[in-house]
Structure 1
Amino acid sequence: MKQFFSDVIQFRGTHYDFGYFQGELLKDSPILPNREKQWGPKKDRHFIIDSEKYKELITKIVPGILEEINGLADALQMNIDDAFRLFGGYYLEFVRSGCSIFTDPNFMVRNYDSHPRGYEGRYMLYQPTDQGFSVIGPSMQITGRIDGMNEKGLVMGYNFTHSKKSGDGFLCNMIGRLILETCKDVDEAISLLKEIPHRHSFSYVLLDPSGESYVVEASPRHVAARKSNVCTNHFHLLDEENRYRQEETRQREKTIQTKQMHATNPYQAFKVMNDPANDVFSKKYDASAGTIHTSVYFPKELKAWFVIGPDRKPVIFDFSKWLYGQNINVKRIKGELNYPDPFVNME
């Protein structure tokens, strides 16, 4: 087992200042150099086709994110088109992933399954002073969010279905950020998912303080919503969008449904996902389907749990207290994975 960590990053202020703050941190971080090395000769494919179109789209939904990218570009002394390519969350190549989600009326527990080599190791708490809702959750592509919860208690996580037949649209991580910054409840999130363009096919799992949980199946061609409390890596409504082989994802779905029936509290539900003995936590890291983190969100209490690696006790965040000015004392979330290569935030 090798040690890994996520940095806990907290900020209150405008989006531009948040971007500049992150840019200053990235100057001293190995994230961008490591990512460029990983992309290698493929990096020329990581581009935005039309910068003006991107600016028009993002300005309609969350203009603050455009300001955040401007702040990043200024701090890093970077051409704005390069900043869009790196941080825009639009029309970039995506590495496939796994992921499993279970919801209860009072919480969501989620395993994020992917390749450790691309994981940023940044757990973010951001309270905007210009526009948008405050959000807690891990980042992807700096500006995007892998999962998270906002100040209204809306919780979001997403699961990969496939990247074939891709379209011109936002990536999952930026869609997650758009949902959390702009939507106060599940209904608003479903409406947004039906309005915006999608690059790939993903399920977006939503929960709010009402206790209602929805899975929104979204592809570049169709978006459909259903009530459900379990989600893995296949669609139920948009069957024509599924991958050819679905045995593993359907079996994992059944395992979660069966084992969560015996969980009588949030910690037991967390253990179903985080303890490898329950056959949900995955060690398939080389296949981009190993479990990197397990997160739990409580929309009514505005609390969050987070761990890196298997069979660990969660770090507990009181987001409600943070929203009223009480900073988090935790600087890093540490864990262990059975994988030799580091996250991109590690030397």
Structure 2
Amino acid sequence: MLWRALSEEQPGPKWAGLFAEYWPAYREWWMREGEHARATYAECRRALVKHMPELVDLYDQLCELAGGGDKPARFLSFWNPPAYLSGCSQAIWQGPEPVMVRNYDYDSRSFDSLILRTNWGGRTVMGVSDGLWGLVDGVNDAGLAISLTFGGRNVVGKGFGVPLILRYVLQTCTTTEQAGAVLARIPTHMSYNVTVLDENRQFLTAMMGPGRKTLITHNAVATNHQESVEWVSHARFTATVERERFLLQRLTLHREPEETFIDAFLKPPLYSTAFSKGFGTLYTAVYRPRLRQMEVRWPGTVWPMSMHDFVEGGRRVAIPGAA
């Protein structure tokens, strides 16, 4: 995998170039069930206006940079996208400098491998990209960090792909309390656990899903189920219960240093080697919201990022068994 770190203050030529590069693969994925399985442009834009009005102007700018076509605009809305599954583990370490740590377990062939720093709408956001403006984890200039895991249900409903919801939270919220209110009201098309940590040490995990009310919890750990296991075969394959228990024990039974806790994410049972099956750990992210810093880690490698001293660059990472 070739990872890149890019910064662009406002939507412009860098983002347009990324879209031109990634769009053929995203178009194939987005169209895999046929064009008519996807919402119309009018439906997509109405959903954004209703649920995320603060993003509409930005969305229009990105659609123009993407060429102004119908299909790119519908894709960029994240409204009712195709279903997708991931693994993932995340936790809040409540030490002297609280950190959010997460593993992202997914298919390397369906991943942006991109860290974006933007200042869209005057709000600086830094995080790992999905869909070229959505995020699977990130932090903003108010010291609010956020991350997602799949929630372990195979029900698909009407709603947004969760990476855009994470982008929306970081663009519009400054505290965990504000983020919780947003996560409670925006519909998602699949089930996800979203964990939030702010600079005042406040945190929550929102258990979101179609057809049910979002449950806001004070959980410091999230893996790939919610209150109980509902998709048994997926739970067994991803060892979601075992990973949750392991993390809870690390947080409650052991008083260990920050680095020891982070290092546990780079080893089994948290670190997944199921790369050939599309559920290998593609990276570990460490967020320090009070410092406005993040790190992307792989076994033996740490790539630090600072929001206020962001350095563009690239890294090549070997993924065992990946095509």
> Same fold by TM-score, threshold 0.5 exceeded?
yes
Specify which of 13, 24, 30 is matched with residue 33 of structure 1.
24
2:9 aligned with 1:12, yes or no?
A: yes
Q: Distance in 2 between matches of 1:174 and 1:159?
A: 14
Q: Distance in 1 between matches of 2:201 and 2:64?
A: 42
TM-score by length of 1: 0.83
Q: Distance in 2 between matches of 1:40 and 1:234?
A: 28
Q: Distance in 2 between matches of 1:44 and 1:123?
A: 30
Give the share of equivalent positions with the same residue, in percent: 20
Letter in 2 for 1:300: R
Letter in 1 for 2:78: G
Q: Which runs of 5+ in 2 are unaligned?
A: none
Q: Distance in 1 between matches of 2:125 and 2:204?
A: 20
User: Following TM superposition, by how much is the alpha carbon of 1:95 offset from its aligned partner in structure 2, in angstroms?
Assistant: 1.9
Q: Distance in 2 between matches of 1:62 and 1:20?
A: 25
Q: Distance in 1 between matches of 2:3 and 2:303?
A: 12
Q: How does 1:211-290 map to 2 (within 5 A)?
A: 211-220=201-210, 221-236=212-227, 239=228, 242-245=230-233, 246-247=235-236, 248-259=239-250, 261-262=253-254, 264-274=256-266, 276=267, 278-290=268-280
2:92 aligned with 1:103, yes or no?
A: yes
Q: Distance in 1 between matches of 2:277 and 2:230?
A: 19
Partner of 1:89: 78
1:173 is paired with a residue whose SS is helix
TM-score by length of 2: 0.88
Q: Distance in 2 between matches of 1:6 and 1:297?
A: 18
Q: How does 1:1-347 map to 2 (within 5 A)?
A: 4-13=1-10, 18=11, 21-27=14-20, 29=21, 31-37=22-28, 41-44=32-35, 47=38, 49-60=39-50, 62-63=52-53, 65-79=55-69, 81-105=70-94, 106-128=98-120, 130=121, 133-162=123-152, 164-220=154-210, 221-236=212-227, 239=228, 242-245=230-233, 246-247=235-236, 248-259=239-250, 261-262=253-254, 264-274=256-266, 276=267, 278-307=268-297, 310-319=298-307, 322=308, 326=309, 328-341=310-323
User: Following TM superposition, by how much is the alpha carbon of 1:109 offset from its aligned partner in structure 2, in angstroms?
Assistant: 0.4
- Taking only aligned residues, the RMSD between alpha carbons, in angstroms, comes to 2.3
* Counterparts in 2 of 1:9 and 1:61: CA distance versus 1, 3 Å: farther
Q: Which runs of 5+ in 1 are unaligned?
A: 342-347
CA deviations on 1:149-195 (whole Å, 9 max, x unpaired) are: 11111111111024533221111111111111111111111111111
CA contact under 8 A between 2:276 and 2:322: conserved in structure 1? no
Count of residue pairs the alignment pairs up: 315
User: Following TM superposition, by how much is the alpha carbon of 1:225 offset from its aligned partner in structure 2, in angstroms?
Assistant: 1.1
Letter in 1 for 2:291: E
CA contact under 8 A between 1:232 and 1:249: conserved in structure 2? yes
